[in-house]
Amino acid sequence: MAENEKQGGGLLDGLRGYHFEIRHLTILVAVLIIFQLAVSFIHRRAIQEFLTGTQSWYQQDSAERLANLTTMSLELLLESETARATLSESDTRKIIQNFNIIFSQQLLHQDVQELCLLVEHADSVLAIDDGKVLYAFAFEHRLDVPGTQVSHARAVQLYAGLCDEMHRNEQIRTIVENNQVFHTFVPFVPRGEYVGAVYMKNAPDFSFITRELISGYNQTTATYLALILFGLMAMYYVSSYTLRERNRAQQLLFDEQKVHLAEQIRYQNELLFTRRIYHTHHKAEKIMGFIKEDLRNLTPESIEVVKERVTRYSNFVARVIYDMKWYDPPLQTIRSPIFHTDINEVIRFIVDNIFKRAVRSEQGLRFVLELDERLPALPLNEFVVWEVLEPIIQNSLDHGGADNTQVVLRTTYDEKSREGTIRISDRGQGIEPWLLERDEDGTRRIFKENVTTKKMGNQQHSGYGCYLAHEIARQRCGWELDAENLPDGGCRFTITFVV
């Protein structure tokens, strides 16, 4: 008992978690009305089909009964008259008159359209619908039956296909045409001898009964639906008013939460932006150290080389400061026809004037440049390209391990597809497998924000290098950046772009 109460309470708690809106009630009311209409329509069709089937069966039964009664009348008349030895002239006229009455009396029914006696003669079928002709055939055995005034060609045609079966079984056969016209053939067996068949074409119409029943059902259904509709509309009005008041209170709460959430988002964005500034600060600090060193070692012979290098250093520092100022810089400062950046030359400058200056030769680290000179210049800001390449190369140096003695930078260009690639690979310990997993957006975890493998003590401003490189490459440059581990050890970053 306690367990059942617990399950019931859990079900109620689950239902309380759903919040019904006005649109839900509208859909519910519409579905109920549609279902009721569908049930009424199906029920109406079922009743109509039942009445139609019953009517069809009753029509055929009434047509066969009427044809059988007519045949029985003719047979009884023949048997009663042939029992007498001689017939006077007045008796003959009376018999002929009785035959004509039987033929004409049935045609008075509004449903009976045709009546005749079909007999076989000289491999042909003849139709008799006159008392005088029938008397001559039955009593005088004259086979020269004259043609009738009404054409019974259709009856003769149908009987020709049924005569053998009827002669063999002596059973009533009915052929239904267009579900309305009944061609009934009743075996004509006077004195126990099969002579032919009485044919009756009957078209009974009982559709008025079906129409009355369907009309009454439609009135009942309309009244029932109207009552249900009014009840649902009343429920809908009361429920919608209640939900409207609840929604108004919820909207006020949502507006208050929206303001609070906007403040939280703005605070988080500012905090995130500040952390990114801290992350990029060491880049500018390192470049400023190179500038100071160049100025201290400046000689008259090296003034031009140092001036060009310091100028590019300064421009890179300016770009870093610009990124600190703008969370989302304008597009024309990144991509524009005024820029003509040689990717190969940028790679050489970064390797020679940044990484080789920061890494001493005694550490045994070697850079291998395999650059495709066919790669054309790109309409990109040179220092934005720096911001993409520098963190990736630095990642190979930081996480390569003691065995990472070589970093290979390779560029390729396919003139047919106009596709260029930049590959940065090393021989280090590779990327941990969990960092290469993709999220629901298809992005590898190594390119997610604040994801790092550094120890907790050094994690305060870590996890932004690959993330920033991926964001700048994808969002600002329109490039694709991917990472993978190599079979022989180490890892490789691949940048793909269309020139």
Question: Domain of 375: which CATH number?
Answer: 3.30.565.10
Q: Is the pLDDT of residue 459 over 50?
A: no
User: Among 179, 205, 231, where does a domain finish?
Assistant: 205
Q: What's the pLDDT score for residue 4?
A: 56
User: Among 180, 205, 230, where does a domain finish?
Assistant: 205
| Domain-embedded: residue 257 | no
| Domain-embedded: residue 142 | yes
User: Among 140, 171, 205, where does a domain finish?
Assistant: 205
Number of domains in the chain: 2
Please, what's the largest Cα pairwise distance for the chain? 164
Cβ distance 292 to 262 under 8 Å?
A: no
| Domain-embedded: residue 6 | no
| Domain-embedded: residue 347 | yes
| Domain-embedded: residue 375 | yes
Residues 59 and 199 in one domain: yes
| Domain-embedded: residue 268 | no
Phi, psi of 145 (to 5 degrees): -80, 125
Residues 339 and 483 in one domain: yes
**In the predicted model, what is the mean pLDDT of residues 38-53?**
76
Which domain does 32 fall in, by range? 26-205
Q: Summarize pLDDT for 357-392 with one digit per residue, the tens.
A: 876 544 567 889 999 999 999 999 888 898 889 888
Pairing type for strands 480-485 and 124-128 reads: unpaired
Residues in the chain: 499
Least confident of 207-221, 259-273, 427-441: 207-221
Q: How far apart are CA 365 and CA 394, in angstroms?
A: 13
**In the predicted model, what is the mean pLDDT of residues 472-495?**
90
Q: How far apart are CA 335 and CA 196, in angstroms?
A: 104
**In the predicted model, what is the mean pLDDT of residues 244-269?**
83
| Domain-embedded: residue 83 | yes
The CATH number covering residue 70 comes to: 3.30.450.20
Q: What's the pLDDT score for residue 100?
A: 80
Q: Is this structure's pTM higher than 0.75?
A: no
Q: Is the pLDDT of residue 348 over 80?
A: yes
Q: What's the pLDDT score for residue 363?
A: 59
| Domain-embedded: residue 283 | no
Cβ distance 33 to 236 under 8 Å?
A: no
Report the b/e string of 132-153 with b at 16+ CB within 10 A.
Answer: bbbbbbbeeeeeebeeeeeebe
CA angle 396, 401, 404 (to 5 degrees): 65
Q: What's the pLDDT score for residue 379?
A: 92
Q: How far apart are CA 263 and CA 270, in angstroms?
A: 11
